[in-house]
Amino acid sequence: MKLQKNEVLKKGFIDLPIPSNINLIEEIKRLKKEKNAVILGHFYQEPEIQDLSDYLGDSLYLAQIAEKIDNPLIVFAGVHFMAETAKMLSPDKKVIIPDLNAGCSLADSCPADKFAEFIKNNPNHTVISYVNTTAEIKALSDICCTSTNAVQIVESVAKDEKIIFGPDRNLGNYINSITGRNMLVWDGACHVHEEFSLEAIVKLKKENPDSKIIAHPECEKPILIVADHVGSTSSLLKFTKTDSCKKFIVVTESGILHQMKKESPEKTFIPAPPKDSTCGCNDCKFMRMITLEKIYFSLLYEFPTVDMSPELIKRAVLPIKRMLEISKKLGL
Ligand code: 13P
Ligand code: SF4
């Protein structure tokens, strides 16, 4: 029995019963084929969702794919700002996100009215914003970046140009230290990456002296100082494949461990623990709002869709396109 759209909207997907006679994964594959849809999945998704994704990667790769593919329907297994970026790059396509509440604490730490005021109070700056922002913030920015290309994007701006960087203070300060720039950094952060315990990481390293620490640049400075390698999710994944070390302490959202284990089954991966916790991993609660069940229902009913006004898209897509052009030139 197929429910009417308004009934589903009222109930939400969570309470909907999955028909007992279906195999969820097979049914999702069937619906994808029938509707010529694709699933774009981020490395922080649950393993089964990663395995089901047609394209799997970091935020830069997924934006590049969204711009390129022809499929009329995109299911975004990631968080809202990523789906929004896909929609801006493919405005004629239907982009759906299986749970509209899958937000991002970093994007939330930068409200558009406050950021506009910050820009106004600091005139004559080039504004670079990390993609982990709302479309409204992108519309206030000159260029976007992701953690994969942040250093190169900043270096593409003339040395004497003053720069505002937002919203992640850890990434911004890290880029300042790498490039020798003195960017004005917005005071935002990600709740997952700021939760890692330096003490626990140092303890793990002592217990595993043959390991290397690898960390995402959204982590706090002391963690980045002790890390052997700092980089985006795809950079961390590449490092675990190419480096001769056989054991890694992984300081980012634990979803990435699935690909690391898949690509280097002979190596050992230890997830870094958060502060004040008895569990071993650190998960992004927003990423984990996406479930197989919600993917199934969102494909079946083709909503919730990600929509923005054409005027907002027109302004917000410009800094994303600038970023993609620079990345393409640099082969990133
Ligand atoms: P990546 O750009 O490495 O995919 O990271 C996105 C993110 O949300 C990190 O928390
Ligand atoms: Fe946002 Fe942090 Fe989750 Fe990444 S891990 S999506 S920055 S809340």
Q: Is the peptide bond before 304 cis (omega within 30 degrees of 0)?
A: yes
String of DSSP letters for 99-118: -TT---HHHHTS-HHHHHHH
Say what the pLDDT of residue 2 is.
58
**What backbone phi and psi angles, to 5 degrees, belong to 304?**
-70, 135
Residue with the smallest CA separation from ligand 2 atom 6 is 104
156 CA → ligand 1 middle, Å: 21
Domains annotated for the chain, with CATH where assigned, are 5-102+287-310 (3.40.50.10800), 106-190+315-330 (3.40.50.10800), 196-271 (3.40.50.10800)
- Kindly tell me if the per-residue pLDDT of 33 is higher than 70: yes
Q: How open is the CA angle 279-280-285, to the nearest 5 degrees?
A: 70
Minimum-distance ligand 1 atom for the alpha carbon of 146: 2
Peptide bond between residue 167 and the one before it cis (omega within 30 degrees of 0): yes
Ligand 1 neighbour 254 (Cβ under 6 A): no
Reported confidence tier of residue 274, pLDDT bands at 50, 70, 90: confident
Q: Which pLDDT value is given to residue 12?
A: 59
The label of the residue with tokens 């690509």 reads 263
Q: What is the pLDDT of residues 214-236, one digit of tens each?
A: 999 999 999 999 999 999 999 99
As a whole number of Å, the end-to-end CA separation of the chain is 47
What pTM was computed for the model? 0.94
pLDDT at residue 308, as a whole number: 96
Looking at the predicted structure, is the pLDDT value of residue 266 above 70? Answer: yes
Supply the mean pLDDT for the chain: 94
Cβ 85 under 6 angstroms from ligand 1? no
Residues 78-117: tens digit of each pLDDT: 999 999 999 999 999 999 999 999 999 999 999 999 999 9
How close is the Cα of 295 to the center of ligand 1, in Å? 21
Calculate mean pLDDT across residues 206-217. 98
Q: Assign 3-class secondary structure to 19-87.
A: CCCCCHHHHHHHHHHHHCEEEEEECCCCHHHHHHCCEEECHHHHHHHHHHCCCCEEEEECCHHHHHHHH
pLDDT tens, residue by residue, 156-180: 999 999 999 999 999 999 999 999 9
Question: Residue 9's pLDDT is what?
Answer: 59
- Average pLDDT for residues 20-39, to the nearest whole number? 95
Pick the ligand that lies closest to the CA of residue 63.
1
Nearest-CA residue for ligand 2 atom 1 is: 104
Tally the C-alpha atoms within 13 A of residue 136's C-alpha that lie toward its C-beta: 9
Predicted pLDDT of residue 7 = 61
